[in-house]
Copies of this chain bind each other. A is one copy, B any other.
Amino acid sequence: MLIYILMLIIVLAAIAYVCWNYLNIMKMDEGTENMIDLAATIRSGARTFVKTEFKTVAVVVVILAIILSLFIEKTAGLTFIIGALMSSFVCIMGMRSATYANVRTANKARETKSIGETVKVALCGGSISGLAVQAFGMLGLILLLLIWGVDHESVGGGFLTKIQGVNASLMRISTYSLGCSLVAMFNRVAGGNYTKAADISSDILAKLRHDMPEDDSRVPNVIADFIGDNVNDIAGNCSDLLESFVATMAASIMIAVSIFNDPAFPIAEGYYNAMTRFPILLAGLGLLGCLLGLGYAQFKKMSDNPSKELDLATWISAGITVVLGFFAALIMFAGKGSVAELKNAGFKLGFISPWICAVLGIASGVLIGIITEYYTSTDYKPTKELAEMATEGEAFVITKGDAIGSRSCLIPILLIGIALFVSGLVCGTYGIAIAALGMLAFVGATVSIDAFGPIADNAGGIAEACHLDPDVRVITDKLDAVGNTTAAIGKGFAIGSAAFATVSLIVAYVENCNFGDLSKIALDFADYVVVAGGIIGGALVEYFSAMLTDNTIESAKLMADEGDKQLTPEVLAGEKTPDYNRMIELAAKQALKKMLVPSVLAMVIPVIGGFLFGVDFVGGLLIGATIVAIPRAIFMGNSGGAFDNAKKYIESGALEGHGKGSAAHKAAVTGDTVGDTRKDVVGVALDIFIKTMSTVANTLVSVFRNITLIR
């Protein structure tokens, strides 16, 4: 109890800091009338979209909550709703603050002409999203634990049915996570479609069809594009990372319960309590680290090197998490029982074991970020080579980009593999979950830095669209460049953490399968059921990718054609404003139309698979989907990032003789457009696809065990 309450205090402190930042942002000046108008349009467009989206989401949430409470566990409907609410609230808050911060960032650049001051505004906006993700993710879970606790024997049941082996405690935790997952799924799928349909269509109109600069205010799709950044890169990203964070905490607790319940390896009640509470403690101390790291960046005098300042904030957050994590392990595990009992729990190196896992998770998170930067930044060989390849035409650019994407999978996955291997070696299955949680324990900082990107991007867009001074644009461009790199790193981190989260969910799934008196399962790949599940799981990832890709190009085509109609000679001459709202509505309509099927797919597949072919089949599905989705997501993110930056490299004039408008530039634009769908639609949705499937499976595993039609 004491730990929960202490952590609750940290959470509330973080929420207070978030609110204070929010008010600070609100107080700032929005700038010229033009800027105020544009910002208002962006804000209202984003709000309208999210409001409409959440109406659909609410219906789905309520229906599922009723089903959960009726059939699975009475309280599960409620915890499911709490999860969905937390996630929705964070999204809305992140998006609102970003749509306030973007114009104020532009204005600060206009007023002060200082990079440092401008960075502070964007970072202040970003930190609202980041800290909210971690604070609200914890808030719901702590409340749930304070009210109901974690009882390893708690047997539950729905209002209508009583299913053998349902543990109400675990069911509450996993439905809480499921609520977060559901919102994230809808957000990512709809947001991806929205933002890329708008972005690709305005690129086509501006660069290919009418030879205008990017973000030109004559292009009717351009405001929808600004909105899209907030919808996907802020709201989508917040809910995605919140989901990963909550899922890993949930998985750690579920695994702890299963370990305690294994009669073959008895452990003391003291260890049980420590193991179920340590995840919350670690996450809370990580939040404290983020508060300090971000607070430091915000209160110190900021230099003109934003990259360095942002890195420093991350390092401080991660460093504090590492140091405090050690004391957390010491306090929780040292001397609470015999060494033999710790060994029974899988701790090979005594109380320090979970801390080692957490550090491994943190280290691999940071390293994956660095590798991602290597493969996608114009400072390094791969992207430079890609830009040079553009001189050979479109086909070579695409093929080279494919090769870069594929090649970039190896080291991040090796890092994850090594971290998993060592964690398992040092601390058993619990260690795997703690490593995942370690990676996510400073998620507040990473999301803050990540959210900096779209805010800076939007600020630049506003500066361009409102024809601000060129030296303002120089500042926002600098921020945008930094933001691009942080976004790429953020994607790497999101994928890495999703991979980790999913693996720990799969481990929890297997442990859950064995809960109670039912026979143990092993996800044995020599078993035909598991093999069949595995390869089908892999195919589903490809199918899901195909659906999202097709939907995006369909919407983009529609929007480009519609936008073209509005580019009348008067609009082109700048004598008339195009009908931005028409395009904003179209983007939203398309995104919402295309949202339901892919999102529901991820939820329905494990359910059907489980009822038809049982737990082993679903286990195979999860593994197959995860093993395929991890490299695919990295491929999509990094090839997309490299394409994007190779184009920017050429535009910056770094490739002698092949500047803007050259054949090489056209080829690079093609690459960028191909990469847009990959990195911002498919790649980011794949994480949430595997996490959602796993969370659904974890929730329903006790049902499948009892009811399986075939086999």
Contacts and interface: CB of A to CB of B under 8 A. Distances in A.
A528 interface: yes
Which 7 residue pairs are nearest across A and B when measured between Cβ atoms? A424-B528, A395-B673, A413-B539, A510-B526, A407-B546, A406-B546, A523-B525
Contacts of A204: 393
Given A398-B398, A399-B549, A432-B528, 4 more contacts: A396-B553, A398-B674, A399-B674, A413-B538
Which one of A553, A557, A711 has the highest number of Cβ atoms from chain B below 10 Å of its Cβ?
A: A553
Given A526-B523, A542-B409, A532 B421 contact: yes
30 contacts: A208-B393, A389-B553, A394-B670, A395-B669, A395-B670, A398-B398, A399-B674, A404-B546, A406-B546, A407-B542, A409-B538, A413-B536, A413-B538, A414-B536, A417-B532, A421-B529, A421-B532, A424-B532, A429-B526, A429-B528, A431-B528, A432-B531, A506-B531, A507-B526, A535-B626, A537-B627, A538-B631, A623-B627, A624-B627, A627-B627
A534 interface: yes
Nearest to A412: B539
Question: What DSSP secondary structure best describes chain A's contact surface?
Answer: helix
A469 interface: no
A627 B628 contact: yes
Contacts of A418: 532
A324 interface: no
A674 B526 contact: no
Interface string A643-654: 000000000000
Contacts of A536: 413-414, 417
A540 B406 CA distance: 9
A20 interface: no
A534 B627 contact: yes
A406 B535 contact: no
Nearest to A711: B425
Contacts of A393: 204, 208, 670
Nearest to A429: B526
A515 interface: no
A522 B526 CA distance: 7
A632 to B, nearest CB: 8
B538 A630 contact: yes
A525 B623 contact: yes
A679 interface: no
Contacts of A553: 389, 396, 399-400, 403
A379 interface: no
Nearest to A424: B528
A561 to B, nearest CB: 10
A403 B546 CA distance: 4
B506 A540 contact: no
A208 B663 CA distance: 13
A95 interface: no
Nearest to A427: B528
A627 to B, nearest CB: 5
A524 interface: yes
Given A507-B526, A510-B525, A670-B394, A406 B619 contact: no
Contact of A627 (B402, B432, B510, B538): B538
A423 interface: yes
Given A399-B677, A553-B396, A538 B628 contact: yes
Nearest to A672: B395
A545 interface: yes
Nearest to A393: B208
Interface in A637-680: 669-671, 673-674, 677
A346 to B, nearest CB: 10
A685 interface: no
B539 A392 contact: no
Interface string A365-397: 000000000000000000000000100111110
A543 interface: yes
A56 B225 CA distance: 56
B403 A535 contact: no
A711 B425 CA distance: 8
Contacts of A526: 429, 506-507, 510-511, 522-523
A410 interface: yes
Nearest to A545: B406
A420 interface: yes
Contacts of A624: 627
A471 interface: no
B507 A631 contact: no
A414 B539 contact: yes
A412 to B, nearest CB: 8
A631 B539 contact: yes
Contacts of A534: 623, 627
A395 B674 contact: yes
A583 interface: no
A640 to B, nearest CB: 11
Contacts of A434: none
Max chain B Cβ within 10 angstroms of own Cβ: one of A208, A399, A673, A677: A399
A585 interface: no
Contact of A543 (B407, B424, B546): B407
A147 to B, nearest CB: 31
Interface string A615-634: 00001000110111011000
Contacts of A623: 525, 534, 627
Given A535-B499, A549-B403, A635 B529 contact: no
A131 interface: no
B670 A420 contact: no
A269 interface: no
Given A522-B524, A523-B525, A528-B432, A413 B631 contact: no
Contacts of A674: 395, 398-399, 402
A634 to B, nearest CB: 8
The interface centre, meaning the residue of A525, A535, A543 with most chain B CB atoms within 10 A of its CB, is A525
Nearest to A673: B395
